[in-house]
Structure 1
Amino acid sequence: MTDTVTQNEQPGRTVELVRVNLNSLSLAERKVAEAILRDPVAVIHLSVSELAALADSSASSVVRMCVSIGLRGFQELKIRLARESFSTEKQVLAAIDPGDTPPSAARKVIVGTAAALEQAASVIDFNAVARIAEALRGAKRVLFCAVGTSSPVAADAAQRMVTIGIDARHVADVHAQHVAARMLTNEDVLFVISHTGSTTETLAAARAAKAAGATVVALTSFSASPLTEISDDVLVAGTAETAYRVEAMASRIVHITVIDAIFVVLSLNDASAVRHQRLAAGIIIEHRI
């Protein structure tokens, strides 16, 4: 059997790293590796479940393949492929050139984010927006769950829901979040926000809430992921940005906008929500000069 070539021995050449280790992999891992070699750029846009389906394999085999060739996991594979597929000067934003002036670069970032929102609007299931809003309205408690760069989105969502009378909260610590999810009941909702839908901590919380009998809903950027398999209802709102900057700000803005849409749907023609908003506004005024 061929010895595994580690990433340190082949720096910056992930496709070659996959190729040279092909014969050392198990059959299931080799199927994943062959799928990567067929179209490495396409892998940048896939979730772990989507790559597994493409390779006629499993999500666990995808992760094992990554570890077998010396990577930490699937996300590192995507990051490396993205960096190697696009020139360094275009990693921040595909349309930005080295000769751009600061005003020009700034404008392109904003225009690119606007395009991401427009793209998201063309594919979002707005019936799912309405269903999830109804689930939140009927819940006794709502726990917003997220980690990493999605955590501020969840914290903002929880705070906004409180202003319209929904008993919502976000627990930042991952261990406390896991415990809180397990303490939910069949009257409660766990709202998971995860760009990839494959973060270990959020999946643990989702499974815990499911075991407790709570309704699990999700906001993510990929239509197929471990999270979508667990959730009772899913909102997919992603962007093409992973081609050049992995988990950049545009996806967060798209997710915040989706939360805003849910907030508006919940507030629409709801006398109780309006009353709570007025109470919240009165409190906020007290903190301004």
Structure 2
Amino acid sequence: MARPVPPPVAPDTDARPALALVGTVTARIRALRPSLSPTGARIGDAVLAAPAEIVGLTVSELADRTDTSVGSVVRFCQDNLGLKGFHDLKLRLAAETTPSADAGVQAPGTPTDTVRAVLAAATAGLEQLPGSLDYAVLAEIVRLLRRAERVLVAGVGTSAPIAADAGYRLRMLGVRTEVLTDPHQQHLAARTLGPRGCCLAISHTGQTQETLTALRAATESGAVTIGVTSYLRSPFTELCRHAVVAGAPERHGLEATASRLVHLAVVDILVALLADDDPTAASTAQQLYTDAITAHRV
């Protein structure tokens, strides 16, 4: 019997990326940090460095501490964080119970201190993940992945292993998935996705040229674009119809394993949601997978 052809994925009426400002205030600031103006960056860095102290400051005191103005602080709260104002910022900071994982990251210490700091960053990233997720966006991503005739998972550099894992896990659930880490092949595959296709891209910074090229090509082909990244504002999120923005504090200016662990957790979440969405199809696909790997077991 011929395999039924799924209908084309209907385009959204609103082409803007689905990027709801959810999660803790500190998580929002970290996600926005690369796109902030110099003034906004000074204010944001001050909040990240000592969120508990900010709760006890007046708006004028924060402006003095950051060498900015009261108007700049208020605009930072409203325009960048989507809050009502500085008082709203203080209320939200007071409600956050997780201590800032960025405190003292630049100060060298003993090997024990370094180990604890790295693990604390990973733990903080995973603990903050539930509050960073937009559950309506996750549900829509699952729907699009399930309906797609073909899914290309794109990611290079430190995101390549995450892309490979995502492709493998999706294939286990019966999603027709391909992962191509060679930039030229990735570009070509994206161009041929078509309206029934989907490009799932992963990029920590959202600025990797090869991944952006794949997203543009997928968009031009009519495919839906989905992204997983650490930063809210970037060329990457502008090219994604839907994006999951989730990261973790970095150590020593590196693209830390903490952020990659968070992205792997996002992949796990999408796989689990896909399995829950259609348990019968998931069970059938997993049985085929089990039968296939039996030959590779001793």
Q: Same fold (TM over 0.5)?
A: yes
How many angstroms apart in 2 are the aligned matches of 1:272 and 1:39? 48
Which one of 96, 109, 113 corresponds to residue 98 of structure 1? Answer: 109
Paired residues for 1:11-90 under 5 Å: 35-36=37-38, 39=41
Structure 1 equivalent of residue 26 of structure 2: none
TM-score w.r.t. the length of structure 2 is 0.63
TM-score w.r.t. the length of structure 1 is 0.65
- Measured on the aligned residues, the alpha-carbon RMSD in Å equals 2.9
Deviation (angstroms), 1:95: 8.8
Which one of 118, 130, 139 corresponds to residue 127 of structure 2? Answer: 118
How many angstroms apart in 2 are the aligned matches of 1:96 and 1:108? 11
Deviation (angstroms), 1:205: 0.8
Aligned partner letter, 1:94:
V
Which one of 128, 135, 145 corresponds to residue 136 of structure 1? Answer: 145
RCO (CA 8 Å, sep 6+): is it higher in 1 or 2? 2
Paired residues for 1:241-256 under 5 Å: 241=250, 244-256=252-264
Structure 1 equivalent of residue 84 of structure 2: none
5+ long unaligned stretches in structure 2? 1-35, 49-75, 77-101
Structure 1 equivalent of residue 183 of structure 2: 174
Residues 154 and 170 of structure 1 are in contact (CA less than 8 Å); yes or no, is this contact kept in structure 2? yes
1:97 to 1:124, Cα distance in 2 relative to 1, 3 A? same
1:277 to 1:95, Cα distance in 2 relative to 1, 3 A? farther
Aligned partner letter, 1:238:
G
How many angstroms apart in 2 are the aligned matches of 1:37 and 1:232? 30
Matched pairs, number: 210
Overall identity of the aligned pairs, in %: 37
Residues 105 and 117 of structure 2 are in contact (CA less than 8 Å); yes or no, is this contact kept in structure 1? no
The list of structure 1 runs, each at least 4 consecutive aligned residues, that deviate by more than 4 angstroms after superposition, is 37-43
Deviation (angstroms), 1:99: 2.6
Structure 1 equivalent of residue 232 of structure 2: 223
Aligned partner letter, 1:237:
A
Structure 1 equivalent of residue 281 of structure 2: 272
Structure 2 equivalent of residue 77 of structure 1: none
Structure 1 equivalent of residue 222 of structure 2: 213
Deviation (angstroms), 1:42: 5.1
Deviation (angstroms), 1:41: 9.0
Q: Quick check: 1:198 aligned with 2:200? A: no
1:39 to 1:223, Cα distance in 2 relative to 1, 3 A? closer
Residues 96 and 105 of structure 1 are in contact (CA less than 8 Å); yes or no, is this contact kept in structure 2? no
Residues 149-176 of structure 1 show CA distances to partners (whole Å, capped at 9, x for unaligned) of 0011001100111111110011010111
Residues 96 and 108 of structure 1 are in contact (CA less than 8 Å); yes or no, is this contact kept in structure 2? no
Aligned partner letter, 1:146:
G
Residues 142 and 188 of structure 1 are in contact (CA less than 8 Å); yes or no, is this contact kept in structure 2? yes
Deviation (angstroms), 1:265: 0.6
5+ long unaligned stretches in structure 1? 1-33, 46-53, 55-90
Structure 1 equivalent of residue 14 of structure 2: none
Deviation (angstroms), 1:106: 3.7
Aligned partner letter, 1:157:
A
3-state SS, counterpart of residue 199 of structure 2? strand
Structure 2 equivalent of residue 286 of structure 1: 295
Residues 138 and 270 of structure 2 are in contact (CA less than 8 Å); yes or no, is this contact kept in structure 1? yes
How many angstroms apart in 2 are the aligned matches of 1:97 and 1:276? 50
1:215 to 1:160, Cα distance in 2 relative to 1, 3 A? same
How many angstroms apart in 1 are the aligned matches of 2:158 and 2:43? 24
How many angstroms apart in 1 are the aligned matches of 2:41 and 2:167? 40
Residues 122 and 248 of structure 2 are in contact (CA less than 8 Å); yes or no, is this contact kept in structure 1? no
